[in-house]
Structure 1
């Protein structure tokens, strides 16, 4: 059940570009448009599912085809375990079709599992007997099953790409990012295996040797990638728009100046009216009517002497008085 370098004949035969990574190659072969799947209908047509029955039947047939054509199962001592890949492939496929509905996924898996178990445990079924078995409890019945699948895929793939990336620059550049992005995955399982050692993936100890921070600096393109990252960072810093107190302060000063000018013009327009109204109030009945129309307090105006009016006008005309001393005093008048 373990494998060496993937054979690419089937994918090419069906017009597909063969996958290079071990896990991707295995998954690709399970999904090819085989013409003999109808041979497995006798077992799979009665599969118990909840929705997507046609797809689950097809999935069941593909599982049985693989089992029939594979060898008797023996847990490999080296390489990778195709039985683990088969179980992950089935569950991942159900996850896509049922849109992450775990209940429906588990019902469909159980439907396939029942047929599967009956065949591999029946000594009269020579084509299936003692072959790969369902591994739901051991590898799939976990909330983080998808992360476990990703970790297993990465670990078996690294055995291929790790060696290539140490000596072939092109392969190193191709797979460096794939290796680097697994750092978060390792962070997850370091915490998980420390807090729940009983549920830690069985393959985790072997995978620890492929942790990105341990292997990246052993790859032939490591220094080149580092230099590119430094250059990209420096370039982005040079191209970044000016920011800081000077740039923002200039914009704010211009904006405040415009707002202040508008408000100043308004005040200067009001001031003569106020002075005229005060004079009219003192000497004519019309003044009282103007002040009432403008909403001004008659007592306040009547108490203003000439010197106070002069002071008011000088304040209104200045640029640093009460109306212009700070943006917070007039910013709300912008709509004018």
Structure 2
């Protein structure tokens, strides 16, 4: 499955050609701690702004490179400094924003008309990663929607990926009704891609629903078996002094055990019915984060 956001991020990350042409624009970041790494981010940013950025198509939900670019730069700095709460992070972000604004305000250049502005609000969003994930998903769904008509053999893979994003929608549905919470600007457009609404239209929906139900039952039975074995092993290894003879204590113990077991089984079923959440983290988890954690230039 080709992810549009992955392709975009990978192109930014891997495109090293002629980056030295933009060294002058980024000279001020060299003095920062880890300035060489920030310099590489800066040159990639400047090159993209000057040579590649185009305004989005206003028809329908066409993904906006500018949103992806903001998240890419921000995430790269978080990766370089380990956390956005690092005291070294904000000076670096501030310098990049200044360089960014300088470029787009230069009226003598043709790219000044194709303005992609830095997102000043991104630093105020403690859930910026979830916002990024939601936008990545919405961008990808455009591709999935078109591909479903031609690639039936990919239906299950697409289904798993889409379903794994259901928790994001649960999160934002709650947050966006909370007073003083600023919903992502793109949320309204993304609402129509809510897995609850779109999965039922997948040609493999009935098959996937049945498979997930069977997997959930099998998993729950396995957990129950393991839990019962643990209880039996504990019982065999304990003396009679370990147990209360008070009927009330015994009843309470049974109730607590049943409650815990029920919680375990409920958690298993909910997790399994959410389908590929674990699968998604392994296969589809924001590729940029995974890649950058492995190798930060």
In the superposition, the TM-score normalised over structure 1's length comes to 0.62
- Aligned partners of 2:13, 2:234: CA distance in 1, in Å? 60
Q: Which runs of 5+ in 2 are unaligned?
A: 246-297
Q: Does 1:37 align with 2:19?
A: yes
SS in 1 for 2:88: helix
Deviation at 1:255, TM superposition (A): 6.6
Map residues 198-217 of structure 1 onto 2, 5 A cutoff: 199-217=182-200
Map of 1:58 onto structure 2: 40
- Aligned partners of 2:101, 2:56: CA distance in 1, in Å? 16
Map residues 145-224 of structure 1 onto 2, 5 A cutoff: 145-165=128-148, 168-196=151-179, 199-224=182-207
- Aligned partners of 2:52, 2:237: CA distance in 1, in Å? 76
Deviation at 1:134, TM superposition (A): 3.1
Map of 1:110 onto structure 2: 94
- Aligned partners of 2:36, 2:101: CA distance in 1, in Å? 21
Count of matched residue positions in the alignment of Structure 1 and Structure 2: 241
Larger gyration radius, structure 1 or structure 2? 1
8 Å contact kept, 1:117–1:133: no
Task: Give 2:112's match in structure 1, choosing from 93, 108, 129.
Answer: 129
The higher-RCO structure (CA 8 Å, 6+ apart) is: 2
- Aligned partners of 2:203, 2:237: CA distance in 1, in Å? 55
- Aligned partners of 1:49, 1:182: CA distance in 2, in Å? 40
Map of 1:80 onto structure 2: 63
Map of 2:50 onto structure 1: 68
SS in 1 for 2:120: helix
In the superposition, the TM-score normalised over structure 2's length comes to 0.70
1:236–1:149 distance in 2 versus 1, CA, 3 Å? closer
1:71–1:53 distance in 2 versus 1, CA, 3 Å? closer
Deviation at 1:106, TM superposition (A): 2.6
Deviation at 1:25, TM superposition (A): 1.0
- Aligned partners of 1:181, 1:171: CA distance in 2, in Å? 16
8 Å contact kept, 1:172–1:221: yes
- Aligned partners of 1:217, 1:244: CA distance in 2, in Å? 37
RMSD: 3.2
8 Å contact kept, 2:138–2:193: yes
